[in-house]
Structure 1
Amino acid sequence: MNPVFNLEAATLSPVALFLQADWVVKLVMAGLLLASIWTWAIILSFSARIRRTRREMARFERDFWKTDDIEAFHRAQSDSDLPSAQVFNAGVEEWRRSTAANQIDREGVRERLGTAMGVAVALEVEQLSDRLNILATVGSVAPFVGLFGTVWGIMRSFTGIAAAQNSSLAVVAPGIAEALFATAIGLFAAIPAVIAYNRFSHGVNKVEAGLNRFADGFHTTLSRQLDGAR
C-alpha cells in the first residue's frame, strides 16, 4: 500500500486534525461543533412544529367557517394554544366586553376588535419565531469564529517555521491544515443555519398572513352581527 496515500488520509482525518490542533483552535472547533448540533436540533424541531401548526390552523379555520354557533365553538377552543385559536379567543373576549354595555359604539367596537386580534397575531408570530434569532446568529457569526481559528492556526504555523528555521512544506502544512479545518467547521455550521433561517422565515410569514386573513374574516363576521344589533 502506498505510504504517501496513508499519510494524506491520516492528515485529512477530522479527528486527527482536531487532536493535532492548538488548544485555542480546539476550543474554536468544539464551539462550532456544538453550535452546529444546536442548529440542527432547532431545524428539526422547528420544521416539525411549523408543519404541525399550519396543518392544525387549516383544520381550525375549516371547522370555524362551518360552525353556526360561535359561542359553542369558543367554548370548545378555549384551552387551545393554536395561534388561530388564540386570535379567535382574543376577538371573542373583546366582543363580549365591548357589547356588554347598554349603548354600543359600533365604530369603537370595530376598532377595538381589530386592535385586539392584531395584538394576538403579533404575539403568536413572535412566539413562533422565537428561535429563529439563534439560526441568524449562528449563520452570521460562525464563519468569523472559524476564521479566527484559521488565523490563529496560521500564526502558530509561522511561529513554528521561525522556531525550526525551516520553511519546508512538511513543517508548514500540518498547522495550515488544522487552521483551514476550523474555517470548514464554521461554514458547516453557518450554511445550514442560513438556509434554515430563510426557509423558516418564509414559513412564519405564511403563518402570519394566514392569521391576518382569519382575523380579517372573523372581524367581518362580527361586524355584520354588530350591524344587526340594536
Structure 2
Amino acid sequence: MTSLSLLSASSLSVPTRLDPIQLFIDADIVVQLVMAGLLLASIWCWTIIVSFSMRIAGVKRRSSHFEEEFWDSENPEQLLVGKRKKDNPSARVAVAGLNELRKSTEAKAQPIDRDGIRQRVALAMEGQVAEEADRLADRLNFLATTGSVAPFVGLFGTVWGIMNSFFQIGSQQNSSLAVVAPGISEALFATAIGLFAAIPAVIAYNRFGHRVNSFESRLQRFADRVQAQISRELEGA
C-alpha cells in the first residue's frame, strides 16, 4: 500500500464531528457514571417541568371556576360538599375558614367573642393557604438541587477525565494531541452534560417559584374576601 493510500485511509477514519454516543462509550468508567447520573437527573427535571406546568395550569383553572361559583352562589356551603373540594385549593381554603367558624359558633360561651372568631378563622385560612403553596411546590426542590449541584458533578467528571489523560501521557510517554485530545474531549463532555442538566433546572425553578408565589398571593386574596364576608355575617348575628 502506498503512502498516499495510507494517508487517504487515515483521513477517512478521522471523525469529522463530535459523536456524543461515542464519547460516552470511550470515556472512563467514572466519567461514564457521572454522565449517566447527570442524564438521569436531566430526564427527571424535564419530567417535573412538564408535569408541574400541566398541574399548575389545571389548579388555576379549577380554582378560578370555583371562586366564580362561590361568589355567585346564594348558598356557598353547598359548593363545598362532596367531590367539589377535592384537588381544589380555593375550596380547601374556604372549607378551613367555614369549619373554624362553625366550631367557634357552636361553643357554649355567651356572648359570642366576635373578635376571637375572626382571628381564628383568619389563622385557619392562612395556614391552609401556606399548606396549599407547600403542596404545590413539593417537587421543585429537586430542580434547585440539580441547578446548583449538576455543574460541579460535571466538573468532577471533567477533572477525573483530564487526570486520566495525563496518566495516558505518562504511560505512553507521548504528549501529542492524538493521545491527549480524546480523553480531554470526553472529560469536557461531562461538564457539558452538567450544564445541560443545570440550566433548564435553574430557569424552571425560578419561573415556577414565581408562579407558586403568585398563586399563593391569589389564594390569600380569596381568603381575605371570605374572611370579610364572615366578618359581616358575624356583625349581623
* Normalised-by-shorter TM-score class: over 0.9
Shift of 1:9: 3.4
Partner SS state of residue 138, structure 2: coil
Please name the residue that 1:8 is paired with. 15
Alignment of 1:42-121 (within 5 A): 42-75=48-81, 79-102=85-108, 103=110, 104-121=112-129
Q: Distance in 1 between matches of 2:234 and 2:152?
A: 58
Q: Which amino acid aligns with 2:207?
A: R
Note if contact 1:78-1:89 (Cα within 8 Å) is conserved in structure 2.
no
Percent identity between the two aligned chains: 59
Q: Distance in 2 between matches of 1:95 and 1:198?
A: 37
CA gap 1:52/1:24 in 2 versus in 1, 3 angstroms: same
Q: Distance in 2 between matches of 1:209 and 1:115?
A: 15
Note if contact 1:77-1:85 (Cα within 8 Å) is conserved in structure 2.
no
Shift of 1:3: 6.2
Alignment of 1:147-226 (within 5 A): 147-226=155-234
CA gap 1:152/1:9 in 2 versus in 1, 3 angstroms: same
Shift of 1:67: 0.8
Normalised TM-score (structure 2): 0.92
CA gap 1:152/1:96 in 2 versus in 1, 3 angstroms: same
Q: Distance in 1 between matches of 2:72 and 2:229?
A: 13
Q: Distance in 2 between matches of 1:63 and 1:6?
A: 70
Q: Which contiguous aligned blocks of 4+ residues in structure 1 show a shift greater than 4 angstroms?
A: 1-6, 76-79
Between 1:164-173 and 1:65-74, the stretch displaced more is: 65-74
Q: How many residues align?
A: 228
Q: Residue deviations 1:64-121, cap 9 Å, x none?
A: 1101112222325664221111101101100100111352100000000000001100
CA gap 1:165/1:216 in 2 versus in 1, 3 angstroms: same
Q: Distance in 1 between matches of 2:11 and 2:221?
A: 65
Q: Distance in 1 between matches of 2:101 and 2:12?
A: 76
Shift of 1:56: 1.1
CA gap 1:6/1:65 in 2 versus in 1, 3 angstroms: farther
Q: Which amino acid aligns with 1:202?
A: H
Gaps of 5+ in 2: 1-7
Shift of 1:153: 0.1
Partner SS state of residue 167, structure 1: coil
Q: Which amino acid aligns with 2:156?
A: F
Q: Which amino acid aligns with 2:87?
A: D
Please name the residue that 1:17 is paired with. 23
Shift of 1:57: 1.0
Between 1:101-110 and 1:195-204, the stretch displaced more is: 101-110
CA gap 1:213/1:79 in 2 versus in 1, 3 angstroms: closer
Shift of 1:6: 5.8
Q: Decide which of 125, 134, 149 is 1:126's aligned counterpart.
A: 134
